[in-house]
């Protein structure tokens, strides 16, 4: 199988240190070595996220943590507000519905950020809303919403704030404790520079209080079981041990670089990629003021066919890019740039895009 260069918004590239750790021999998941690994990785993760809240790692993709974020803190018939600006916001609302929540779903235009005043209006009008679901960094449109302002509004009404920070946590500031985020979820294959297989959920004291009366059905994702097991130094079920080795190694790298430096690297490279795409004459989906630092989607130019561009990037340059999701399928391309990324990584995709667009235009001129 050919090794491709990944420019998708997860899974992302993994540094060699992480993959060496991933390849380590397995250990007994009920032994002291695993307890040490679990406790150590949890402490390092808390340090990276600057949080005193409880952290749990789940053996699942990010969607598992989204499900856990719903079923552990809500009951069927609870009223939940979801303001969504994309595919993943809609997915979060759907999950809540599947488990019996009554969802007030407010879809906002794709390419826009969540408007905190829309949340304020709904909370003002409806005192029965128990929790607010938001996606911080909407990976389908490359929009990062102003989570601090959203949190201020939700906290002002003393409601539970449940945040999908899948593609922002570890790449940009998410001040969990300072902003009062109750439940936050992420996944290993995003900014954490690891293979897929582990998701993370961070739970506040207020969320634990809600857990006490929450009645949605839960089994594998029951966090009360995860908490009890963690106190003993284990996970409730067999954990994906290799993913823990990998995450531990990735956290060492990130903490060594310094989280502020990690954030600054993402900020700088995301600006570089946006500037580079604009120089190629491409229009970006997200306005500059709410542009994501981890994924940059652009509109397919009128004279270019999306599938041809995707194909030429793949065949000529071994590059895989993210395609549009849902209603944006065929209309945009998403460049992922999170985790183990540097200037050379950004330069390469910009150069290959330039050459691919030129080639496609030359071909179409020849044929017309
Ligand atoms: N939420 C966001 C913002 C995402 O970007 C993704 C994955 O791309 C998910 C949820 C779903 O995560 P997973 O595919 O790991 O289940």
Per-10-residue mean pLDDT, the chain, length 368: 95 98 98 98 98 98 98 98 98 98 96 97 98 98 98 98 98 98 98 98 98 98 98 98 98 98 98 98 98 98 98 98 97 98 98 98 82
With a 6 Å cutoff on the Cβ, whether 300 touches ligand 1 is no
C-alpha 309 chain-centroid distance: 26
pLDDT for position 367: 76
Q: Which atom of ligand 1 is nearest to the CA of 63?
A: 16
Which residue is associated with the tokens 């079923």? 71
Could you tell which of 8, 10, 195 is best to mutate to test the pocket of ligand 1, judged by most ligand atoms within 8 Å of the CB?
10
CA of 180 to the centre of ligand 1 (A): 23
Beta-sheet strand order (sheet of 199-203): 54-58, 199-203, 183-187, 160-164, 129-135, 79-84, 102-107
* Whether 115 contacts 108, CB under 8 Å: yes
Quote the tokens at residue 37: 């690994």
Strand 137-138 to 319-323 pairing? unpaired
User: What's the confidence (pLDDT) of residue 363?
Assistant: 83
Alpha carbon distance 308, 357 (integer Å): 10
Residue 288 CA to its chain's centroid (Å): 20
Nearest atom (ligand 1) to Cα of 189: 15
Ligand 1 near 248 CB (within 6 A):
no
How many other C-beta atoms can be found within 10 angstroms of the C-beta atom of residue 60?
21
54 ligand 1 Cβ < 6 A: no
Q: From the CB of 200, is ligand 1 less than 6 Å away?
A: no
Q: What is the pLDDT of residue 138?
A: 98
Q: Which residues pair with 138 in a beta bridge?
A: 143
Residue 236 burial (CB < 10 Å; 0-12/13-18/19+)?
buried
């Amino acid at each position: 199988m050919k090794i491709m260069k990944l420019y998708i918004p997860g899974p992302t590239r993994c540094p060699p240190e992480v993959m060496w750790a991933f390849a380590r021999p397995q250990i007994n998941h009920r032994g002291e070595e695993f307890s040490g690994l679990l406790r150590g990785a949890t402490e390092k993760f808390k340090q990276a996220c600057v949080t005193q809240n409880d952290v749990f790692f789940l053996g699942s993709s990010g969607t598992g943590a989204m499900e856990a974020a719903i079923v552990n803190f809500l009951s069927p018939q609870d009223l939940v507000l979801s303001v969504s600006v994309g595919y993943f916001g809609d997915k979060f609302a759907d999950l809540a519905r599947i488990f019996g929540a009554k969802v007030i779903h407010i879809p906002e235009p794709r390419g826009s950020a969540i408007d905190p005043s829309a949340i304020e209006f709904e909370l003002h009008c409806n005192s029965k809303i128990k929790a607010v679901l938001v996606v911080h960094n909407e990976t389908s449109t490359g929009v990062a919403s102003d989570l601090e302002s959203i949190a201020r509004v939700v906290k002002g009404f003393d409601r539970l704030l449940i945040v999908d920070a899948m593609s922002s946590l570890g790449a940009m500031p998410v001040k969990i404790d300072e902003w009062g985020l109750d439940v936050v979820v992420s996944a290993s294959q995003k900014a954490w520079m690891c293979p897929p297989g582990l998701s993370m959920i961070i739970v506040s004291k207020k969320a634990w209080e809600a857990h006490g009366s929450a009645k949605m059905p839960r089994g594998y994702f029951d966090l009360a079981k995860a908490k009890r097991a963690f106190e003993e130094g284990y996970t409730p079920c067999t954990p994906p041990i290799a993913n823990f080795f990998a995450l531990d190694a990735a956290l060492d790298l990130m903490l060594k670089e310094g989280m502020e430096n990690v954030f600054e690297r993402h900020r700088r490279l995301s600006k570089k990629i946006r500037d580079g795409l604009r120089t190629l004459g491409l229009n970006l989906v997200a306005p500059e003021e709410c542009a994501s630092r981890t994924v940059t989607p652009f509109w397919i130019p009128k004279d270019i066919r999306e599938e041809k561009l995707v194909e030429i990037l793949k065949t000529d340059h071994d590059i895989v890019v993210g395609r549009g999701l849902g209603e944006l399928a065929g209309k945009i391309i998403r460049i992922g740039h999170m985790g183990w990324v540097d200037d050379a990584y950004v330069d390469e995709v910009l150069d290959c895009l330039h050459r691919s667009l030129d080639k496609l235009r030359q071909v179409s001129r020849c044929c017309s």
